Structure 1
Amino acid sequence: MKHRFRTQPHPFRPIQLTEWILLGIAVLSELPWENLPYLSTLLGESLAETELVPFAWLWTLICLLVLGLLGLRLPVGSALNKWIYIAVQFGLILIATTLGQWLSPFLMPYLVVAIRGYLIFRRSGRWWVTGVAFGLATTSLIIPLSDIQGIHADLAKLPALTIPQLRTLILFVGISGILLCGLILAFGLMLVNAVLSERNSRQQLAAAHQQLRRYALRIEDQATLQERNRIAREIHDAVGHNLTALRIQLENALLFSPSDAHKTETYLQSAQQLAATALTEIRHSVSTLRSDPLNGKPLVSALEQLCGELQCQIPGDFVYELDLVNPIKREVGATVYRLVQEALTNVVRHSQADQIKLQIKTDLDYLWLMIEDNGIGFDPAQTTAGFGLKSMRERAVAMGGQLHIATAPYQGCRLSAQLPLVEVVM
């Protein structure tokens, strides 16, 4: 299997800015100020004695620049990718220290790497990166201080110091530097931890709100479905029974009408037709009020049946593509069916279109729905409530998805929706 190095943008702009400030401090610490023309006079240095840009400073600048650019994107996924990322940064610091003679800003770049390690790793990885950064930082301090003879030669111009006094001074400076290094690392990582904790709390709160909203919607839907079922039973038992009785009575009247049989028959046939139509409408209403619009069928079968019923009502071309290859939850399937049913009903009733296209497809994470027609269109700001678009949008949002309408008067209409197939964990 091919190994992929996946990255993402830096998640915290303030922390990224802090990293650049720390690296900027390192740059200023290593800048050869004595070689600048305007400072040479003040410092009493001769430009002839040193180069304008020392070779060591070039190495330091290149390493700092690459180290800063590596912070623009952070690795995600594989732990191997993350450790390669950290190792490259430590390698840049060691190159700058060894070849570039990078001595003064020994802590800043290590703190930057520790912060990045804290962002990309979990607990154990964070401890390892912090420990390595601390060890390398203290080593970069101790190694120069271990050359006592060289330091003694450099301090020869100062008041005389004995070797024991110099050893004591170096030990004091070394211990102080190590403690300072540890404190700065600890404080910096505590600050990063506070930022991460605050972000995680917000994400958990948002996820809890989303979950609570879904539970509330499910309870509301359950209550609505129970009420719909009750109304459906009442329609079936009461109104349906009465209309059936009416139809029987009208049929009897047709058989036993004593006078003006032709006119009576005409009116009674009309009444009979109206009663039959009312029964059809009631059956349709009962079907609409069912708790499961799919009626136990797979989503593809239910949609094909719905499209077949509507196709005879469309005076033109109706093309539909159903590419549903991934499993779909019952709630998502019911929502998709309702969206398609409402949208196509609106198209048939109001659009005056002769070309309609329905397309539904899925990938690993989302279901994509698109309905497009060449009808007269409408103004969404004025007709949203009348066409039930608000209800359709609420259905999509309740499932964690989105629904968009692109239309204008006499320019057709395009409805697109995106519904997640999996629970979104933030």
Structure 2
Amino acid sequence: MVLIPVSRLAHTHGSVGLNGVGLLVFSAMGLVFPTRRWQKLLYTIIEFGLLLLLALVGQIPLFQLLFLVLVIRNCVLFDGYARTIITVLTFVACIVCLLNRRALPFRVAPDQLGVFWLGSLLIFGLVILFLQLLVDAVITERKSRDALAEANIRLQQYAMKVEELATIQERNRIARDIHDSLGHSLTAFNFHLEAAIRLLKVKPSKAEALLLELKQLGAQALADVSQSVAALRADPLGGKPLGAAVATLVDHFHRSTGVLPTVQVNLDQPLSHAYNLAIFRVIQESLTNCCKYADATAVSVIVQPVNQQIQIIVEDNGNGFELEKNTTGFGLQGMQERVQALAGELRISTAPARGCRVEVWLPLE
């Protein structure tokens, strides 16, 4: 029969009770997730104190597992250097507990105690290091997935905005082309009609010729409308070189106003379709405005290369206008947008009774 001292028995029962309550509190703390920095520090200090109490006073076996749980919680709570500092403090706390011989779960011979401590510390240190790296990798991967999901959401939003902007730009392009093509045809149509009305009683034969041209212009206007509805895929230049297309514009202007512009189209090298189209539309819009408002007697059109740039000038000696007050003209806005799309510059010089000079500079391709 083995007799156990009363003091040792009381200590054993006390340790069991302390360990049970400590483990219960430590487990319950896992349900709490502090957010503020001071809350995290207080939370970690309480964990350290509780584990040291269980390991040194309660003599709980395998206390290293509890410290491993603390390392995992530390990785979740802290980032960067704070996480490393807490892990190092955990390792130091484990050393303190191992140095207390009473905390060992089994007896170790005195001559083997040093080897046991060294091996235990080495194993525990490697386990802590591996555990922290593993948890870091898992958390980093989780954050990367969250960041990727957020980036995908932002990308979808950006794609919707880009689609909306592309739709607006396409609407503006179609509006510009309708204005440039159909507006030009209707302007010429109106001037031909007025001339035919004036000549109907005086020179019926000439009025008849103008009416025949009106019929052609009306057909052209209908064709322009059809082309605009079909997203304006047809070439406004009609497959002609830029010089020939400009000559056609000038001929229409001459027939409508009786004024024959002087034309100089001198290009050393062929240009892309985008450049040819922009130059054609600028000249077309300038001549249309001149036909509508200028009442000019002299008009000049110049297209020439100057210092690695292309210079386009359409100048008249007509009525002119106050440029600051002309803020709603869609034709001028369309010209500005076309020139800016090619990284060019548009300059308009005009004043009442001083004519108008439209000058465009485009960088050579």
TM-score using structure 2 length = 0.39
